[in-house]
Amino acid sequence: MSNLLRPPTVRHTIGVLDRTLFAKTVNLAAVAITDKRKIAQWRQSLHKDNTLLGAERLANVVPHPDQTLASQGARCLLLHPKVRPTVPDTWTPLLRDGVEKQELGVVPYDLSLDYTYWSYDDVMQCLLPSDVRDEHDGFPSGFNQAGHVAHLNLRDQFLPYKKLIAQVLIDKNPGVRTVINKVTMVGTESEFRTFEYEVLAGDDDLNVEVRESECIFQFDYSKVYWNSKLEGEHRRLVHLFKPGEVVCDVMAGIGPFAVPAGKRGVFMWANDYNPESYRSLSSNIKRNKVTEYVQAFNEDGRTFIRNAADLVYAASTTGKYAVAKKKPVSRRRQHEDGGKATEERIPVPPTISHFVMNLPASAITFLPHYRGLYAGHEGLFEPHTGTKLPMVHVHCFAAKAGGEAPLLDICERITAELGFPIKLGDPEVPGEAAVLEIREVAPKKRMFCASFRLPAEVAFAPRE
């Protein structure tokens, strides 16, 4: 069956995609059910008998091939290709019995397939010659999607076919209207992680809207950084934050950590050095109605780290708070309050609970700026209070290697920048860090997140 349902042979081409070349007719057998009321019953029986056609994206209940009967509502069940309509020896006992009892009639059926049926991989297998496929016989199917834009990073061997690839990608992904290809490495042309691109298909419109974690983000994809493959990491960290805590997002981008956390009642001091990211971040804060909890800043992350600690402490000492609306929890309370939601003041605490540093290419180099973060404020933390020093989550890259080698390398780099020994282990233990692999970004490169409590020796050191 797999051979019958393969796409037709199409000559490899670098030119315009001709979708008509993918038309194909597959000769099958079908059974006409004498009593239309028994179609479901026979469908179930033939399925158990392994006689029914079972193919992805194909319905096995179809109109009768006779147009007159089809106009009267007659339908058929498509059979497995092993069953031939004029060769009874290929029929199963169940099928023969149904025919003998005149409950079934076996008829030829010409199944017409066209370009819309074939999957992206099916089409690529036809269009791309075998000598340009990668070592796994694969095709360029992975892409980063931002709203209606699909962002490819094509390898050199696929570049002659880039227009074809883009056209097929749009055809097979209904949510995609524009396909672009990166022509420079992220960070090569801009310190803001933006990149030069070429439009391969669709309009040159990179103003997109993305939905993630029940939030709406709008931005110009050509001017800010966004990676849809980090949605799981966004969700993972946000769910570590507790309502009423303060979290400092040093490289906040357009707000994928800050905005969802704000919706959960977490105070977010969100910063990004890119003015365009800051504008989108500010807009997304308002759009998602989290202005009570999320504040946007446009500073160099190195200076923002200490500034945020000072600003949070000042906000707490001056009595800053967020107003949260609470719905009545009981009918009696609802009656007493007239059915209206009540307001609760959530005070800003004096210290930051978490720092997020999602700039994997260089975030580790920002660590020296935590030195002296809380100099002179030792009384705010353990053992004087029940408050722990901030948990730092720093994203980074490391070469792909076996075992713990990349994790140990990351700890060594953190140690060198922080000026305090950090080893692999439990992040709640002073001097230890948990290092989690987030994703593979290239065949020999992976992204990690290292989490550790800021050591007292660093936090309370004199500020330089």
Q: Which amino acid is at 324?
A: A
**What does the pLDDT look like over 402-459, one tens digit per residue?**
889 999 999 999 999 999 999 999 999 999 999 999 999 888 899 999 999 999 999 9
The yes-or-no verdict on residue 148 having pLDDT over 60 is yes
Lowest-confidence segment of 67-71, 383-387, 406-410 by average pLDDT: 67-71
CATH of domain 120-205: 3.30.300.110
Tens of pLDDT along 209-245?
999 999 999 999 999 999 999 999 999 999 999 999 9
Mean pLDDT of the 54-62 span: 89
Cα(3)–Cα(10) distance, rounded to whole angstroms? 15
The domain limits of the chain are 24-113, 120-205, 227-459
134-143, 229-238, 362-371: least confident range: 134-143
C-alpha span between 318 and 348 (Å, rounded): 10
How high is the pLDDT of residue 187? 45
Per-residue model confidence (pLDDT) at position 336: 61
% of the chain surpassing 70 pLDDT: 92
- Ranked by mean pLDDT, which of 55-59, 160-164, 274-278 comes out on top? 274-278
- CA dist 57 and 35 (Å) reads 27
Residue 227 or 1, more confident:
227
Other C-beta atoms within 10 Å of 182: how many? 16
pLDDT at 134 over 70: no
Burial classification of residue 199, based on how many CB atoms lie within 10 Å of its CB (0-12 exposed, 13-18 middle, 19 or more buried): middle
Kind and range of the H or E run holding 332: helix 331-336
Residue 112 has pLDDT above 50, yes or no: yes
The predicted model gives 3-10 an average pLDDT of: 78
Task: Please tell me the predicted confidence (pLDDT) of residue 143.
Answer: 84
Residue 187, sorted as left (phi over 0), alpha (psi -120 to 50) or beta, turns out to be left
pLDDT at 188: 45
Contact of 237 with 267, CB cutoff 8 Å: no
Task: Dump pLDDT digits (tens) for 294-331.
Answer: 999 999 999 999 999 999 999 999 999 999 877 666 66
CB burial of residue 163 (10 Å; 0-12, 13-18, 19+): middle
- The encoded tokens of residue 184 equal 């420079």
The average pLDDT across 39-68 equals 92
Give the Å distances, CA to CA, from 387 to 200, 267, 285, 378, 391.
53, 16, 28, 11, 12
Query: How many whole angstroms separate alpha carbon 44 and alpha carbon 98?
Result: 14
The arithmetic mean of pLDDT across residues 63-72, rounded, is 91
State what percent of residues in the chain have pLDDT above 90. Answer: 74
Mean pLDDT of 60-89: 92
Residue 127 confidence class, pLDDT cut points 50, 70, 90: confident
Please give the Cα distance from 121 to 135 (Å, whole number): 16
Strand-pair partners of 61: 77
pLDDT band at 185 (very low <50, low <70, confident <90, very high): low
pTM of the model: 0.84
User: Is it the case that residue 286 has pLDDT exceeding 90?
Assistant: yes
Over residues 57-86, mean pLDDT: 92
Buried b (16+ CB within 10 A) or exposed e, 371-395: bbbbeebeebbeeeeeeebbbbbbb
Residue 337 has what pLDDT?
58
Contact 453, 443 (CB under 8 A): no
Task: Give the total residue count for the chain.
Answer: 464
Burial of 425 (0-12, 13-18, 19+ CB in 10 A): middle
Q: Are 372 and 463 in contact (CB under 8 A)?
A: yes
Q: In this structure, which CATH number among 3.40.50, 1.20.58, 2.60.40, 3.30.70 belongs to the domain 24-113?
A: 3.30.70
Find the range with the poorest average confidence among 71-75, 277-281, 283-287, 392-396. Answer: 71-75
Helix, strand, coil in percent for the chain, rounding step 5: 30, 25, 45
- Describe the strand order of the beta sheet including 61-63 as a list of residue ranges: 61-63, 75-78, 24-33, 104-113
Q: What is the mean pLDDT of residues 132-157?
A: 78
3-state secondary structure 224-291: CCCCHHHHHHHHHHHCCCCCCCEEEECCCCCCCCHHHHHHCCCEEEEECCCHHHHHHHHHHHHHCCCC
pLDDT at 250: 98
CATH of 227-459, one of 3.40.50.300, 3.40.50.150, 3.10.105.10, 3.40.50.1360: 3.40.50.150
pLDDT reported for residue 329: 62
Average predicted confidence (pLDDT) for the chain? 91
pLDDT for residue 258 = 98
For residue 257, the model assigns a pLDDT of: 98
